[in-house]
Every structure is written in structure tokens, then in C-alpha cells.
A and B are shown apart, each in its own frame.
Chain A
Amino acid sequence: MADLWEELTSVFRMVFDNPKIVIDEKTVASDIVGWDSFSHMNLIAAIEQHFNVEFSLSEAVNFQDVGELMETLQKKRTS
């Protein structure tokens, strides 16, 4: 689990070009510089590629915070 958080953090850092990004379950878009509707699609693409998973459109746009994103990601990896 800790590894997964580390990996997800590394994806966030790559997408938003900021090595200092720290995420947790409560992190929301306004906590991360540059996380807007446009960069969100790049983030999803990067997560899909890194973890070799695919998000449906509704999954991609509906999570409220990183905790929900992680939950969806975990389900996909175990299914």
C-alpha cells in the first residue's frame, strides 16, 4: 500500500512538474498547483500508463479527492 502511494506520488510529481508534491487521501485539486480540468486528463493518462489500467470517463471525472482516486486504482489493480 505504501508503495502504491509512493508510485502515485511520483506520477503526480511528473505530471505537475513539481518534485515537492505530497499527496494523501484528502488532497484535492486546489491543493496542487496546475491541477485543472485540462491537466486532469493528462494526469489520468499518466496514471493509466504507469499502472497499466484504464479509467472510464465517469471514473476519470467523478472522484472528489485523491482518496477516491486511490480507491478506484486499487480496485482496478486487484480485479
Chain B
Amino acid sequence: MNNMLKFPNNNIGYLCSDMQVELGRGNKVAFKWISESMENHDYTYADLKESSNRTANILSRYGLKSRDNIMFLLPRLPNLFFFFLGALKVGANSCILFTSIGDESLKDRIIETQTHFIVTTTKFLFKLENLFDDSLYILNIIVIDDNQKTKNRIGILDELLSAGVDFKTTPTCMDHNSHFHFTSGSTGKPKAVQHVHGSAENHLSSFLEVIQPSEDEVYWCTADPGWVTGVSYGIIAPCLYGLTQIQFSGNFNSSKWMQIIENFNVNIIYSAPTVFRIMMQYEDSFFSPYNLTNLKRIYSVGEPLNPVIIEWGKRIFGKEILDTWFQTETGSIMIAMRPGLEIRYGSMGKPLSNVSAQILDDNGQVIINNQKGLLCIKKTWPSMFTSYINHPDIYKNKFLGEYYSSGDIAYKDDDGYFWFVGRNDDVINTAGHLISPFEVESALLEIPEITDAGVVGVPDDLLYEKVVAYIVLRGDIKMTSTLNLKIKLYIAQKISSIASPREIRTTTSIPKTKSGKIMRRLLKNQYLQLDFGDISTLEIENG
């Protein structure tokens, strides 16, 4: 934190690269890049500075200006980081997309945010080239692995090597838009959550308080950069601190992950419960061949951390896994277990030193200890989201007086520890990703064989919650394995593979209120074979 205060320019792109070089870390490794085939290449902070300056020069050359929106549809390769930081240096508002994004979701996101620049590779062009009629919407597609130039396609492969390595970073004030992520609510389409350059202050302070790194440690945040954790703690915070970090291009693979921890002497890992739950399926002997003694601290985020996972972690790694809690909207960790705090299995931990968290009722009144209520954070803090782009009313509704209401239900015990209970809406948390049931239902109704649909999240041993779709089939159509697969692929291709239902059940009708709202609670209870509870608002067909 003190280091940042020495510099008048708080542009995150500058702080993460140029400032690190000015602090004498030019030769220090910023990223140890590991490909899916386990080849390694190191990039220093000087490399990070030069490469992000090159990308900033290229983006400026092709018309990107301060406050323009830009998206990145790139695999997890070094250029993703160089372009993200380069765009920030230009002063542009950057968004890293999940590469598994479906076509319609991609189009919706581009239009919703009026984004006119996207950086990608030739591999992704099939998703982009026919997305818009050129006469209706201009999307400048910057392609980093060829040199072809057409009307809206700008191939820049050669320029990546020849562009200048000096760039004067655009000075940014604290509230200058820096980056945005998309997140789902229980209604409508995903919203773009806006963050600002001033958020860097929270990224670093929370990193220091929770992760507690030291200069010579090797850190690995496994989160995809399309996720808020992947940006806040996979790019920004470790670079602000000048730490050496691991970036692995491949998907999750237990053997490769253990090899990485061992071979690259990883000291700190920040991952997710789903990953730990998958690893728990292996016999303990699977881990025996690996020397994991350098691993000092393990953190988790995205879903509640069950005590059984912590016990497993202690047995396998000799360390307790520490839970952290934050959201896309909070931008940085708000509540966490951390070294120095007595560990309570199953608790999220305590609020960070600069965070005021409370459990409130629907009227914004503080609830007494050990009683469930809305988990709320007192505004404002530097990494707090500043808007849902184009949705000021929804933004306004996220606040209860002076508090941001997270939508999570929790309670606080007498010692100030917070305990997660559930959500106060229908949003599904599958492997740490929030899924809007409404969005999936809407897509299901586009499938000709389906006349009605209701989507719920139900507990799952691996994913925390899995997406389950209840569907009503048209006429005499019967469910077959072919249709089952067709439905899953349709959702994957339209929204994303994450939203694709893990299970599809047919039913004769979807329970709805008299006003036509789907009663997902009933579907969930039906799945779990629980009592239906209060059904006084249920619309009975032909009743």
C-alpha cells in the first residue's frame, strides 16, 4: 500500500507493471507461464511493462481511446494479460470474457455495454465474424495471431513484435472506469458490474491482510480471468505487490496441478471448493508421490467451504484451507479466514479490518447475533462496484440505506465470525459461477420440443449446486438420450457450458403463482423429495 501512495498515477496498468520496474523489480519474474503440455516460460516485470506498452500502442493506433469499452476473448495466454494491462494504460474500460461463452450471450454483452473493440485469436473468429450485420453495429475485431486486415478485422501479429515499448499511461482518477465483469441475478440477463481504478487500493490491502505474501514466495490463483477472482487476485493484486505467480493454460487436472505445486515450489494457492471436492475423490495415496512441503497457505473462494474439505486439506497438505468471501460487486475480499485468526470450520471468517459487515433484516435493521439475515456491507469502499452498466434502478435496489445487500443469507456469531446459510434469491451457484435460472429457462423455451420449463439449483457433491431443468415436452414427444443431449448442447452453445443443465427431468406442468411466476422452491423441493411448504399462492391448472 505504501508503495502505491508514492506514485501520483493510480492507473492499474501502470501500477502492475511500470511501477514494479521503478521499484527495482524489473528482473523479477512476474509470471511463470505453464502451457497445458507443461512447458514453462517466465516473464519478468520488465517484460510485463514492455509488452503491455506494445499492446497499448497497438490499441491506440487502431482507435481505442480512454473510456472506450473493450473486451478480450482470448485463451489464458500471456497476451491476455499484456492486452488487459495495455488497455488499462490507454484508460479504456476492459472486460475479460469466459472463452466458453455462448454466441447469444456474447452478442448480448457486446450490445449491452456498447463495446466496439474486441481482442481475440483466429480460433474464436467463427464466433464473432457473423455476429453482427456490419451496417447495424461496428465491432472492431483485433486478431493477435495473423496479419489479415479487412473492414472490421485487424490482424496485428507482426505489430506485436514491432510496436514501440514506450507508452505514456493515461492518468486516471480514482473513479475512472477500469474493468467490468458480468454477473447473474435471478431475473433478466446478466448485468455488467463496473469497477474503477481506485479499486487497486482494496485489491492490495486485502491481499496483504488475507493472503499475507512475502516477497520471495510463489503464488498461484487458479481462477479463470473471466471471473472476478481471476482479475482481482490473479492479475491485479499479485502484480501490485510485485509477487511471482503461476499461470497455467490448461483446464483442471489433478496430476498436473500437483506437479506444478511441486516443481514450481508453489507457496500459496487460491482456488475453489469444487476443485478440492474433485481432488477428494482420489485416494490419499494419489498425493503421496508429490512433495508438497513448500505449500504454506491454501485459500478458497466462490462457494461455501465445507468442514469436510478443510479436514481433507489438513490431511493431504498438512494445512487448513482458509475460506474467503467476496462477490463480483464487492471487487475484493470482504470477509475471510486468515493467518492470525482462530479457524472455525465452516465459517467464512471475520470482516477485514476496513470492512463493516452486518446482518440486516429486509428493512435494513441490524439483526441480533446468531440470527439469520441478509449479509450486508457498509458503503463505500474503494473496490465497490460503481454501477450495473445501463441498469441504474437495479443498482439502486442493491442497497439498504447505507449498506450494500449481497443477496447472501448468513448469521454472525457472538465472536464476530460470519456463517453462510444460503441465497435469498433463486440464483444458482455452480462451482462458484452464478447462473440465472431465468436465462436458462428462456433459452429452453426456444427449443421446439419444449413448451414450458423451470430451472433450479440443487445440492451437488462436486459442484456445490448443479443446474437441474424441469421441462414440459410438446404433445406426444418423449424424452430420449438424443433429446437430452440436444437440450444440453443448445444451452451450452447459446449461454455457456457452465449453464448447461446437468440433469433434465420431464414433468406435466411447471408450478407457478397466480401471477405466473415460476415457483422454483416447489421444483427444488420436488427434486429433494421435501415437503412442499406454503403453496397458498400456487396456481392450480383447471382449478
Residues of A at the B interface (CB closer than 8 Å) are 14-15, 17-18, 20, 28-30, 33-42, 45-46, 49, 64
Contacts and interface: CB of A to CB of B under 8 A. Distances in A.
Contacts of B518: none
Given A33-B124, A39-B497, 15 more contacts: A15-B489, A20-B126, A29-B36, A29-B251, A30-B35, A30-B251, A36-B100, A36-B251, A36-B498, A37-B252, A38-B492, A42-B485, A42-B488, A45-B485, A46-B489
A20 B251 CA distance: 22
A57 to B, nearest CB: 8
A41 B482 CA distance: 15
A14 B48 CA distance: 38
Nearest to A19: B126
SS class, residues of chain A in contact with chain B: helix
Nearest to B278: A61
Given A39-B492, A40-B251, A46-B489, A33 B123 contact: yes
Interface in B469-489: 481-482, 484-485, 488-489
B250 interface: yes
Contacts of B249: 30
Nearest to A26: B37
B304 interface: no
Given A20-B126, A49-B482, A34 B497 contact: yes
B37 A28 contact: yes
Contacts of A18: 126
Given A38-B498, A41-B502, A42-B497, A30 B492 contact: no
B511 to A, nearest CB: 28
A48 to B, nearest CB: 9
A14 B36 CA distance: 24
Contacts of B502: 41
Contacts of B498: 36, 38
A42 B489 contact: yes
A46 B489 CA distance: 9
A40 B489 CA distance: 11
Contacts of B431: 37-38
A33 B99 contact: yes
5 contacts: A17-B489, A30-B35, A36-B100, A41-B502, A49-B482
A37 B249 CA distance: 13
Contacts of B100: 34, 36, 38-39
Residue of A18, A39, A64 contacting most chain B CB atoms (<10 Å) = A39
B75 interface: yes
B497 A38 contact: yes
A14 B492 CA distance: 11
B493 interface: yes
B500 interface: yes
A17 B493 contact: yes
B512 interface: no
Interface string B237-256: 00000000000011111000
A29 B36 CA distance: 8
